[in-house]
Amino acid sequence: MNNTVNNVPETAGDELIVVRDLCKSFRISKKKELQVLKNINSVIHKNERVAVIGPSGSGKSTFLRCLNCMEDPTSGSIFFDGDDIADVRVDINKHRENIGMVFQQFNLFANKTVLQNITLAPIYLKTKKAGGLFAKSAVKKQIRKEAEEHAMQLLRRIGLEDKANAYPSTLSGGQKQRIAIVRALAMNPKVMLFDEPTSALDPEMVGEVLDLMKELANEGMTMVIVTHEMGFAREVADRVLFMDNGVIAEEAPPAELFNNPKNPRTKEFLSKVL
């Protein structure tokens, strides 16, 4: 992870995430490292929907996980709201409150109900800000009440209000992923990161998850989506990044990238998936 203070790059004012010279390597033996990301530069604008596509092993998920430092960058900078979150002196947990993350495998707590899964983080963080374990009982009750009311509003939105007291094991894959999205939304994030959110779903369940994501896109949520759903990327994204071998090989609006790709590797990839 970067341990130097960097100056915020010049921006036009609507940049939410600015990535500069991002590299990520994994040590695979005492003498050998595998470089997965190679000098990535990119800007994610507020209210922009960015789809990240490419072959398996191209670095897509690693790039996404670096955006909230779930993977520590080997070098480079990631400015989020003006702060370089790749700097070890920055409180990354504070920034993660504003970065929602949705994983391939849902990552719901099996021993907690749907409502508890959604309210766990908001209750913990608000209670911590109100005085932690020493917060007055009345304050804790109000925090819990507000978090549960917000959670129920979100559940009503996706038609799963009746599942509030159910456990994840009783839900379908599509329901679990929609709950996972709602759990991230409960924090009122500034950006949502999606790591192949439909890859673990049966084909008939993919649509209900994509429909919810389309709603978020239409409402102006800033989104970065690693996906194999080319039709979804074409329909929803403002911009598509094609990654190959650890670099962004091409980026363009979806109509341009899908209909008239410039990079030979992009052309080859699309010829196999479209």
- pLDDT digit string, tens, across residues 56-111: 999 999 999 999 999 999 999 999 999 999 999 999 989 999 999 999 999 999 99
- SS3 of 68-89: the string is CCCCCCCEEEEEECCEECCCCC
- Residue 3 exposed, middle or buried by CB count within 10 Å (0-12, 13-18, 19+): exposed
Task: Walk across the sheet containing 75-80 and list its strands.
Answer: 33-45, 15-27, 75-80, 83-84
Predicted TM-score (pTM) of the model is: 0.91
- pLDDT digit string, tens, across residues 201-243: 999 899 999 999 999 999 999 999 999 999 999 999 999 999 9
